[in-house]
């Protein structure tokens, strides 16, 4: 199931976020769109959009077939 694959990738990325005082929560996967909530230091970090798009989105699109984009949920 796509949601399980997405969670697996997020679990691989989580140590890097935790190291910087942040975390990520999977909200839902729907029609190839993954909705995530950045938490902790990541939630209000000025670089969070870059983290989300350049880091997390790139990894999910590369590793999970069918993922098209990431949306941040606040």
pLDDT in tens, 10-66: 999 999 899 989 999 999 999 999 999 999 887 777 888 888 888 899 999 999 999
Measured distance CA(27)–CA(14) in Å, rounded: 15
DSSP E strand boundaries for the chain: 22-30, 33-40, 69-72
Q: For residue 5, what pLDDT is reported?
A: 98
Q: For residue 51, what pLDDT is reported?
A: 80
Q: Is the pLDDT reported for residue 1 higher than 90?
A: no
Question: Both ends of the chain: CA-CA distance in Å?
Answer: 25
With CA atoms as reference, report the closest residue to 56 among 40, 66, 69, 43. Answer: 69
Residue ranges of domains in the chain: 2-72
Q: Which two tokens stand for residue 62?
A: 């590369």
CATH 3.40.50.920 given to domain 2-72: no
């Amino acid at each position: 199931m796509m949601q399980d694959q997405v969670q697996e990738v997020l679990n691989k990325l989580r140590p890097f976020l935790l190291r910087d005082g942040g975390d990520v929560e999977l909200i839902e996967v729907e029609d190839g769109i993954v909705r995530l909530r950045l938490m902790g230091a990541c939630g209000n970090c000025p670089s969070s959009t870059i983290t989300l798009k350049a880091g997390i989105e790139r990894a999910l699109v590369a590793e999970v077939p069918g993922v098209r984009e990431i949306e941040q949920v606040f």
